[in-house]
Chains A and B, each alone.
Chain A
Amino acid sequence: MGLALLAIAGVLIANRSGADGLAPWIIPSIVFALGLALVWSPLDRVTLEDARRPKLSGLFERDAWARLALGLAMGIGALWWFATWEFTMDPVQRAIIVPLVVLGALALVLAPWWLRLIRQVGVERQERVREFERAEIAAHLHDSVLQTLTLIRAKADDPDAVTRLARAQERDLRAYLYQDRRTEEESVATALALAVNAVEDAQGIIVDVVSVGDAPTDERLWAAVKAAGEATSNAARHGIGPVSVYAELTAHTYEIFVRDSGPGFDPNTVPSDRLGIKQSIIGRVARQGGAAFVQSAPGERTEVSISVPREVRS
């Protein structure tokens, strides 16, 4: 509106100072500017509330239509006048300049509408993408969390089962939300986490895994991971939770520590025919040039330390 008033004021001043003294293009220019303002004005309002989601329905109210029609009429009128204006006698110059100016002016009138249209298409596409993502997440939550909650309700009188279900679901959701997915072969940290998770599921205990450093899982690292899985399983069977697993990968060695919360035992009293520790932990890493120790005493916590040297890369 301000623009329109300004334009009218301009016209009045032009009249007062005498139209003869001014160039003849002043009045058509003002008319054109007014038309422009009228055509653009409905767009102001639609973007007022949210620039990213224009209310397009607002554009087609009667008032907006009237402005649009009037503005276009004024614009075209001004251009018509320009097209017939003989500012130069050379017909070639006119044949070039007139169409250019008319096209440019029309583009100016319609540009914001066109831009708006493009943006609207973009917004709609974005919304579709978002909708799709939401549907994906909803599907995942339904398949996992809702199912688990239903299971938990069904087994409400079995605390062990509930704990196990809750823990497994928590891990699943955590992996879905926070982890960049890497396979066991790509990442020894992932391999260890999966090995420990399998024990958690089977034995229904809580194990915290902390890994420092990561690398692709080669044969030696696999041996260490499997030994750690065995150690965790032992801890779950004979000790009490929670169990802590800490793994540290340096340039030269891979070390894993598995520690339960008691009650401990005397390693010397374990019968020699018990193969758990000897074969699947100590033997397994010894074959890869590594070593494993069990440290425990009755009443203390038990800690299994596993270490393997890393393959030297040439």
Chain B
Amino acid sequence: MSDKTADDAAVATPPGVTVVIVDDHDVIRVGVRESLEDDIEVVGEARDVESAIEVILEAKPQVVILDVHLPGGTGGGALDVLAEILTGTDAPRVLALSVSDAAEDVVATVRAGARGYVTKSISGPDLSDAVRRVAGGDAVFSPRLAGFVLDAFGAAGGEVAAIDDDLDKLTAREQEVMRLIARGYTYREVAAKLFISIKTVETHVGKVLRKLQLSNRHELAHWAAQRRIV
């Protein structure tokens, strides 16, 4: 997946993205900082809920790379941080980073406001790409997150939304896009395969993200409840 080309990423990239890295493991923080490409500037780091909130409100980064499991706060980890920092108009955008593939972690974090979810096994260029994409206002869906979305919205059971705004189902087009992402296609490859523009792919993914955050589907509520948020 590392062959995403510059033009793929450059679509909505503001030059020089500022980030804050939040992770309780020093090794991971160092690793993430080292693997980010040069145009991404690390303006702060934090290792628990309290220091994360403080650093983020102080440094006002464009993007926060946030570990899902963090010590401190009320025990909700990333959810505690998200609740504090996602207020106001200049709130940073959040890319969640985790070693966990558990559905409840992924879904709870996205529903709490993260605009993307990647696992820690992601390569340096891919992570940089994800950061730029989130900074540009787009959603970042890993194949696994796309799989969860298809599962959660009953795509395998043949449920299709009749109207665009149905929050509990995906439209046929959205399902197609999610399936291709789950199959390992980059946004550019999805666009080429479906004969649509990258911008359109981004729009579909953005809509799916919105549905994921706002829907009351039983599966989503259940996964979210396991992490005690709704």
Give the B-binding residues of A (Cβ under 8 A): 174, 178, 206, 208, 210-213, 242, 244, 246, 248-251, 257, 259, 261-262, 301, 303
Asked if residues B143 and A257 are in contact (CB atoms below 8 Å), the reply is no
**Which chain A residue lies CB-closest to B151?**
A212
B156 touches A259 (CB 8 A): no
Contact between chains at A211 and B183 (CB < 8 Å): no
In the bound assembly, the distance between CA atoms of A249 and B155 in angstroms comes to: 10
8 nearest A-B pairs in the assembled complex, by CB-CB distance: A244-B184, A210-B147, A213-B156, A246-B183, A246-B182, A257-B183, A212-B150, A259-B184
Instruction: Report whether B143 and A246 are in contact in the complex, using a CB–CB cutoff of 8 Å.
Output: yes
Considering only residues 150-173 of chain B, those with a C-beta below 8 Å from chain A are 150-151, 155-158
Contact of B1 (CB < 8 Å), options: A174, A178, A213, A242: A242
Report whether A178 and B101 are in contact in the complex, using a CB–CB cutoff of 8 Å.
yes
Interface residues of B in 174-229 (CB under 8 A from A): 179, 182-185, 189
Interface: B83 (CB within 8 A): no
Q: Closest chain B residue to A210 by CB distance? A: B147
Given contacts A208-B143, A242-B1, A249-B156, 4 further A-B contacts (CB under 8 A): A178-B100, A213-B157, A248-B155, A259-B184
Closest to B144 in A: A210
Contact present for B102 and A261 (CB under 8 Å): no
Number of A-B contacts (CB under 8 A): 56
- Report whether A244 and B158 are in contact in the complex, using a CB–CB cutoff of 8 Å: no
Q: Is B3 an interface residue (CB 8 A)?
A: yes
CA distance A211 to B183 in the complex (A): 10
Asked if A248 meets B3 with Cβ closer than 8 Å, knowing A212-B156, A259-B184, A303-B183, the reply is: no
B179 touches A246 (CB 8 A): yes
Task: Output the residue of A210, A211, A244, A250 with the most chain B CB within 10 A.
Answer: A210
